[in-house]
Amino acid sequence: MSILINSSTRVLVQGITGFQGRMDTEFSLAYGTKIVCGVTPGRAGEIVHGVPTFNTVRAAIGRHPADASILYVPAPALRDAALEAMEAGIKLLVATTENVPRHDASLIVAEAQKRGVKIVGFNTNGIITPGECKLAGIGGDKPERIYWPGRIGVCSRSGGMSAEISWTLKKAGLGVSTCVSMGGDPITGLMMADYLRLFEADPETDAMVVFGEPGSGHEQGVANAVASGEIRKPVFALIAGVFQENYPRGVSFGHVAAMIADEADTATAKRKMLAKAGVTVVSGLDELAASVRQIMQAPAAMRKA
Amino acid sequence: MIRLTEEKTKAWLAARGLPVPKGAVANTPDEAAAVVDRFGGGVIKALVATGRRGKAGAVKVVANAAEAKPAAASVLAVQIGEHSVERLYVESKVSIDKEFYLAFAFDGRSPSVVASINGGVDIEEVHRQSPESIIHRPIDSVTGIRFWEALDLWQSAKAPNENLASLAKITVELWQAFRGADALTLELNPLAVTVDKKVSLVGAMMGIDDNALFRQPQWQAESGEQTIGGRKQTRGELTVAEANRTLPGGAVRYTELEGNIGLLVGGGGASLLVHDMILARGGKPANHTDSSPGPITEKLKVMLREILTRPNMAGLLIAYNHLQMARCDVKIEALADALRKTGVDPRKFPIVVRLAGPAEARARELAAEFPGIQYLDDDASLDDAVRLIVEKAGKGGLREASA
């Protein structure tokens, strides 16, 4: 098992005829991902690495039903593309687009919540269940170089760090159940704690690693879920960006942001909050590998804190 | 975020038919006096994109042109934080009956609205003294804030019955302006009701989402001048920013710091981690960098030249997370170019490289042309790279640049 995707996931690619869409489609097909159809308005009839292209999502999945859609759509067109996919009934969207206008991101997420749609991203590098399926750029053309099948769930705010963490685990003789690059934009669909809940429910995940950065309330959600006992499997956290606290902050505008901004926004505050909740907080990758190995070598009964 | 000055915010609101006092920009006390004369009295304010102007003495009420000149001169002499006052905004005076506070901003994933009947004063002070008087509500992005929700908001804020309807109406209109402008913040303080019971947007500040400039081109010009942590950009930062604007490809960001270890690190997350680890080991970064996907060799050349030619450098670390799509060789291509142009000799100036992923073999070949570059083995971690550069830089590997 795994979370969100597996070897039977059928995938639609919105923006399949673009440079990134084409390249990731090629690599993903080679990895075994079932990409069944693509959409680019005005390009119906084109075949991309064997995958048929349609003008609309409805037309595409009418012929080739799909469970998930990857969006390689530039920011100005993202809102409509995401709403179109939701309207057509797709329940998992992987939105690679970065720097999405805040009002659009907010609208897409609000719509997804009303419809029970899961959104990975914005600004995600993708999801991979090693050996089974990968969506979007994650792993590039040689995912096995970095992502090894195993029993650790990984969720990272940074696409690059999902690779670095998974490679570190592989080097330590461990593997990954599913690795999610959850997206680095200020607004994301699924929150970090949502992924941990999915990992908690996945019988083939034994422990989880998260990578966080300053800003956003993701770690607060994780701390709450761990402290409340909702998450019982071991959680390891690497939170980067402490150095920012050594330098003067950008001057804030007006008073609104200062007043309603979460005070737990700095990396140091996040590390403290997570440690207090029962998360194992590490400060580097070598330390991460050693800590995870130690827990994974313990008998299963002792893994619960 | 692009912080608009008051006259830009108010011009935008006025263009949407919203009630703002009439006003004009003045550059000198004489110009200010002329406007005050035309308006028959007025308010002279510093035209800077920041709040707290009243406290700083940068807002003066004057009755006539004679009073206007010295008042304008005193406002022009004020310094608010790092803002010096270069221009003035002169506004006709509004006869205010009541002052309210209203703001829109993003709170996590949803927009939110903040309302209070204690307007016209520092809202942070209100928050300290009577937090319960500030009402803070999320807004559903799909529906926006609707008239009856706005009524409920102001009722919860204990606004008087006689003002409820007009406050609710203007709140809905301001939400539409907030969304229409792709604003990240819109603060009205005070949101005034005049003695003749009309709403007037006496204080208005707005911040725009730079990511929405593709459909808000009217504010492109405001996005130029940037400061970093309250200081002006350095010459090196401006050079890199210029390269970033004019050369094609992915975006690069470059911030100069006080230390002596140059960094070319990425992507977003790994660059933060590497920086943290250097500080934790006692090293001092001379800069921070970040880049977004896309071909960036030309931009990296410019950035590396800036890093290598800064004074008192003790080493350079090029460290990325295991790359998945981006190529290793383009970073070394840029390094080779910068080394040739600056004459920096890696045998005397420590350079540590940790790059793994696509086109790694070619990157190693290119690096091998420069004896002294320490390109770490394939199983080296980011921790290893950090340990090595801090150790080498700590030994005072001073650079002898000939360029």
Give pLDDT tens digits for B87-130. Answer: 999 999 999 999 999 999 998 899 999 999 999 888 888 888 99
How many contacts, defined by CB atoms under 8 Å, are there between A and B? 199
**Residue in A64, A103, A218, A255 annotated catalytic:** A255
The CB density around residue A122, as the number of other CB atoms within 10 Å, is: 28
B320 touches chain A (CB under 8 A): yes
Whole-number pLDDT of residue B233: 80
Whole-number pLDDT of residue A265: 78
Min mean pLDDT across B119-133, B211-225, B233-247 is at: B211-225
Any catalytic annotation for residue A218?
no
Q: Which helix (H) or strand (E) holds A92?
A: strand A92-95
Whole-number pLDDT of residue B234: 87
Residue B156 has pLDDT above 50, yes or no: yes
Whole-number pLDDT of residue B267: 75
Interchain CB distance below 8 Å, B381 and A213: no
Q: Are B24 and B72 in contact (CB under 8 A)?
A: no
Min mean pLDDT across A149-153, B42-46, B146-150 is at: B42-46
Q: Mean pLDDT over residues B57-63, rounded? A: 89
Whole-number pLDDT of residue B106: 93
Which residues of chain A neighbour B50 with C-beta distances below 8 Å?
A: 251, 253-254
Residue B23 has pLDDT above 70, yes or no: yes
Whole-number pLDDT of residue B227: 55
Q: Mean pLDDT over residues B78-85, rounded? A: 81
CA A140 to chain centre: 16
Domains of chain B: 1-21+94-224 (3.30.470.20), 22-93 (3.30.1490.20), 226-394 (3.40.50.261)
A233 vs B292: which has the higher pLDDT: A233
Q: Are A207 and A236 in contact (CB under 8 A)?
A: yes
> What residue in B sits closest to A83 (Cα-Cα)?
B142
Mean confidence (pLDDT) of chain A = 91
A110 to chain B, minimum CA–CA distance in Å?
A: 6
Q: Mean pLDDT over residues A258-272, rounded? A: 70
The band of B216, judged by pLDDT with boundaries at 50, 70 and 90, is very high
- Dist CA B346 CA B387 (whole Å): 18
Whole-number pLDDT of residue A249: 58
Write out pLDDT tens, residues B327-377. 999 999 999 999 999 999 999 999 999 999 999 999 999 999 999 999 999
The CB density around residue A45, as the number of other CB atoms within 10 Å, is: 8
B369 to chain A, minimum CA–CA distance in Å?
A: 27
Residue B294 has pLDDT above 80, yes or no: no
Interchain CB distance below 8 Å, B285 and A243: yes
A-contacting residues in B 199-258 (Cβ below 8 Å): 205, 207, 209, 211-212, 214-215, 227-231, 257
Whole-number pLDDT of residue B351: 97
Tokens of B304: 């590396």
The band of A236, judged by pLDDT with boundaries at 50, 70 and 90, is very high
Considering CB atoms only, which of B82, B108, B325 is closest to A137? B325
Whole-number pLDDT of residue B225: 52
A-contacting residues in B 106-145 (Cβ below 8 Å): 106-112, 114, 122-124, 127, 136, 140-142
- Dist CA A295 CA A297 (whole Å): 5
The band of B53, judged by pLDDT with boundaries at 50, 70 and 90, is confident
Whole-number pLDDT of residue B230: 60
Q: What class has domain A10-303? A: alpha beta
Whole-number pLDDT of residue A248: 63
Residue B79 has pLDDT above 90, yes or no: no
Whole-number pLDDT of residue A256: 37
Whole-number pLDDT of residue B102: 98
User: What DSSP letter does each residue of A10-54 carry, written as one string?
Assistant: EEEEETTTSHHHHHHHHHHHHHT-EEEEEE-TT-TT-EETTEEEE
At position B31, the amino acid (one-letter code) is E
Q: Burial, B89: exposed, middle or buried (Cβ in 10 Å; 0-12, 13-18, 19+)?
A: buried
Inter-CA distances, A143 with A93, A126, A136, A146, B320, Å = 21, 12, 12, 6, 17
Residue A298 has pLDDT above 90, yes or no: no
Whole-number pLDDT of residue B78: 86
B165 touches chain A (CB under 8 A): no
Min mean pLDDT across A162-176, B92-106, B158-172, B283-297 is at: B283-297
Whole-number pLDDT of residue B56: 79
Interchain CB distance below 8 Å, B272 and A106: no
Whole-number pLDDT of residue A56: 98
The band of A262, judged by pLDDT with boundaries at 50, 70 and 90, is low
- Give the contacts of B242 (CB within 8 A, at least 6 positions apart): none
Considering CB atoms only, which of A76, A161, A285 is closest to B215? A76
The band of A258, judged by pLDDT with boundaries at 50, 70 and 90, is very low
Whole-number pLDDT of residue B398: 45
